[in-house]
A and B are shown apart, each in its own frame.
Chain A
Amino acid sequence: MEYLLHIAVMVCLYSILATSFNLLIGFAGLFALSQAAFYGLGAYTTAILLVDVGLPFPLPLIASAVVGAGVGTLLALPALRIVGDYLVVVTLAFQIILVEVAMNWTGLTGGTDGISGVPNYQVFGLSLDSPTSFLPVALLVAALCFWIAWRLATSPFGRSLRAMRENESAAVSVGKNVVAMKLVVFAFSAGLAAVAGSLFARYFNYVGADSFLIEETIYILAMVILGGAGNLVGSVLGAAILVILPELLKFIALPVDIADKSRLVLYGLVMVAILIYRPQGLLGERKTQARTRASSGPGGGEAAAVPLRASAGAAARGRTIEGRGLAKQFGGIVAISSLDIRLEPGTITGLIGPNGAGKTTAFNLLTGFLKPTGGEVLLDGSSTGALKPYELARAGVARSFQDLRLFTKMTVLENVLVALPGQVGDSVFSVYFRPAAVRRDEAANVRRAREVLAFVGLEEQLHETAENLSYAEEKLLVVARLLATGADVLLFDEPLSGLDGATLQEIFPVMRRLAESGKTVCIIEHNLDVIKELCSVVYYLDEGHAMAVGRPEELMADPELAERYFR
């Protein structure tokens, strides 16, 4: 019996570790290999504070969480400039350094001897010194940690995390501060792992560095992969399976040493097999339908009539964005040189020109995605030079991408929800301390998102995953996502190419009404009929600068331009 309860305690510990790790790799898409280091950090913090300092409960536990989160943030700060495989090396190095420190800083950590004699929890004079008495505490803490992770993952903030994972630049383009988001998720993940470490110290009354090696990180990873990255329940399931499964080996009479290694071989086998045969894990990523369905308001027909004002907020503020003498070089190649462009409120400006003329580069410069090598961008007369792309997006300058950059593994509704500005639930503080406000705001946001989607004619596909849309539907979703930002300056990079005539006839009035409501609209477009239909001003870009500016008919009548481009 004691033995079974011991296993239950271990399942609790690993559930915390696996769910916290899943936040990082499954939701934020940050592949950091230092989870065991944070686990150990929490264990040592608790052990040292109890044995050397003698702090009373619950201070060591809190201290562990805080130290874990703090060190996690410190690691994240430099590491976030690094992506993909390089993040793996850096966090791996960090993992090794931490273990080395634990092994060698004998004065603090006891070196290879570790720290023993960590006191048990005392509840009403009762010492929790057995699995039986410890299990309730482990369950309680594990449940609390799971709730914290769950709350974060299923909040609007969690949705933004997944959007960042799917496409970072698109997340930036809808105003997400991805650096801050990464720091927060690192802090949560590390903090929760450290809490598991604190429990470890209390349960085993001993802390030693060899419990927190890189192998430990891999076991935790195996649990996440088995359960399914992006699914927190899956992580609990994965932890339970991988803790219990090796215990079954104990019924086979094997020497202790070999039994232990067989457990690890089993972990390795499970990981490899899952990745080959069921890469999404046992449960796979959860589709977040239920919540949005429950809060759905009236959609469809009627909403479609008024959506624009609803989605765009009140009348636009009427903003002018201007590029003066813009220049951009990549290495020796000049993409843009001395480009002057001015986009006025209430107008639709067209940007035309051959492929490679610098149209998209111009968008990148206006929206801060690229910094010009010369000239400046002015929003209502003041320079935007210091603003980061996400700040510009929040300030009302939003853009779409020619290659769409949808959040492909998220639903249509989520794609639009992510883009809505000023969400209460994007603040982590609100997620935990103002749940009612988050709920209300979310319900309102779902209504707005549905209106925007009804407006572009995607209300039927609300819960479809974006990757399953047809090309035309994807285009419409791009437009919807851009509208949802509520920005005053809207830059569309080839929004209409590939749409059929009927759809175009539906989109044209949308564009016109955007301009009529005072928005500043600019589109890059190859189809001259569209340009004639929509634009009042056209810039003809070639070889990086504006060769001609004027009304569409004027430009098309210009014999030289006609020779170069139109014919």
Chain B
Amino acid sequence: MSRTDSAAAAAETASGTEVVLAVRGLGAGYGRKRVVHDVSLALGEREVLLMLGHNGAGKTTLLRAIFGLGKPMGGSVSYHGRDITGRKAAENVTDGLAYVPQGHGVFRTLSVADNLELGGFVEPRSALLAERRERVFELFPILAERRSQTAGTLSGGQQQMLAIGMALMHEPRVILLDEPSIGLAPNLVERVMQAVVTINRTMGVAILMVEQNVQLSLPIAQRALVLKTGAVVYDGPPDPLRDHVELMKLF
């Protein structure tokens, strides 16, 4: 069985639902250099798919290539069965795909409120935006308190919440979440993971999450993927990875 088949099969067994985002044989890199080789994966509807891998394994490059930042070097990405390979990020956002980059994906010199408003840039109807903003404030009450504060002066955890909140402002169906725990204290990581669960369970958003914090991210994932030097070396249920010896073998 080829890797593509296994990925697709795993998606179906994990969630039993339709595949929203399918990546086939994707290659990616920067400049002339290829960092990601022939990666295939499938993200099911309402699924949390966790992607693990060492520093430099190509996780971020992969997410960026899926999202249309940086040109893919071969392979394809499809979203709800339509080919979106190399499509402009702006179009993906309009279409319900969101990307939360690693480490403080916010506009540091702007206020929290402005950041959230910009998060909904592709939605010109302000009434809808106000509604969504309320939902973000419900999820992260601290952002409501700090709404007029400059984003750069927020703590790392609050910035991460804001970054996720901005993604929610364009009401995505799929979020690509790049290492939300980076640089956060353990209790904040838990807080962020809870939010991820809420977004997934109550808003029904499918999430492809890159993480290094195995301990806190494994429990919320329905399926896990391990990337090593740009290729998928594990794709299956998260449970076997709980044994860290097993995991370390994969790293």
Contacts and interface: CB of A to CB of B under 8 A. Distances in A.
Interface of A: 333, 354-356, 402, 467-468, 470-472, 475, 494, 497-498, 500, 526-529, 543, 564-567
Contacts of A527: 54, 248, 251
A330 to B, nearest CB: 12
Nearest to A494: B55
A467 B55 contact: no
Nearest to B54: A497
In the A-B complex, list the 9 residue pairs whose CB atoms are closest, starting with the nearest.
A356-B183, A497-B54, A529-B248, A498-B54, A498-B56, A497-B55, A355-B182, A498-B229, A471-B229
Contacts of B229: 470-472, 498, 500
Interface in B185-206: 185-186
21 contacts: A355-B179, A355-B182, A355-B212, A356-B182, A356-B183, A471-B56, A471-B230, A497-B251, A498-B57, A498-B229, A500-B228, A526-B55, A526-B212, A526-B251, A527-B54, A527-B248, A527-B251, A528-B248, A564-B186, A565-B215, A567-B215
Contacts of B249: 529
A402 B251 CA distance: 17
B13 interface: no
Nearest to B33: A467
Contact of A543 (B156, B185, B212): B185
B144 interface: no
A566 B213 CA distance: 10
Contacts of B217: none
Contact of A471 (B31, B35, B182, B184): B35
B242 to A, nearest CB: 8
A525 to B, nearest CB: 10
B186 A526 contact: no
Interface string B214-231: 010000000000001110
Range of interface residues on B (Cβ < 8 Å):
20 to 34
A467 B182 CA distance: 27
A402 B183 CA distance: 16
Contacts of B230: 471
A498 B228 contact: yes
Contact of B213 (A354, A402, A475, A528): A354
Contacts of B125: none
A527 B57 CA distance: 14
B33 A468 contact: yes
Given A356-B184, A467-B33, A494-B55, 4 more contacts: A355-B179, A355-B182, A498-B229, A567-B242
Contact of B32 (A356, A468, A471, A566): A468
Contacts of B158: none
Contacts of A468: 32-33
A529 B245 CA distance: 8
B54, B156, B184, B212 — which one has the most chain A CB atoms within 10 A of its CB? B54
B244 interface: yes
Nearest to A542: B186
B40 interface: no
A564 B186 CA distance: 8
B32, B213, B229 — which one has the most chain A CB atoms within 10 A of its CB? B229
A565 B215 CA distance: 7
A467 B32 contact: yes
B181 interface: yes
A476 to B, nearest CB: 13
Contacts of A475: 56
B35 to A, nearest CB: 7
Interface string B48-86: 000000111100000000000000000000000000000
A529 B184 CA distance: 25
Nearest to B245: A529
A471, A494, A526, A543 — which one has the most chain B CB atoms within 10 A of its CB? A471
B54 A467 contact: no
Nearest to B243: A567
Contacts of B54: 497-498, 526-527
Contact of B183 (A355, A467, A470): A355
B154 to A, nearest CB: 11
Nearest to A357: B183
Interface string B2-37: 000000000000000000000000000001110100
Nearest to A496: B54
A356 B228 CA distance: 22
A567 B56 contact: no
Contacts of A529: 245, 248-249
A528 B250 CA distance: 12
A498 B54 CA distance: 6
Nearest to A497: B54
A566 B179 CA distance: 18
Contacts of A528: 244, 248
Contacts of A472: 229
B35 A498 contact: no
A467 B35 CA distance: 12
A467 B33 CA distance: 7
A501 to B, nearest CB: 8
Contacts of A498: 54-57, 228-229
Contacts of A402: 55
A402 B212 CA distance: 16
Contacts of B156: 333, 356
A9 B112 CA distance: 64
Contacts of A356: 156, 182-184
Contacts of A333: 156
A497 B248 contact: no
A567 B219 CA distance: 12
Nearest to B155: A333
B6 to A, nearest CB: 21
B77 to A, nearest CB: 22
A34 B156 CA distance: 44
B117 to A, nearest CB: 26
A142 B32 CA distance: 38
Interface string B172-184: 0000000101111
Contact of A467 (B31, B57, B242): B31
Contacts of B184: 356
B80 to A, nearest CB: 33
A59 B55 CA distance: 60
Contacts of B56: 471, 475, 497-498
A527 B33 CA distance: 26
A529 B57 CA distance: 18
Contacts of A543: 185
Contact of A567 (B31, B32, B244): B244
Contacts of A566: 244
Contacts of B33: 467-468
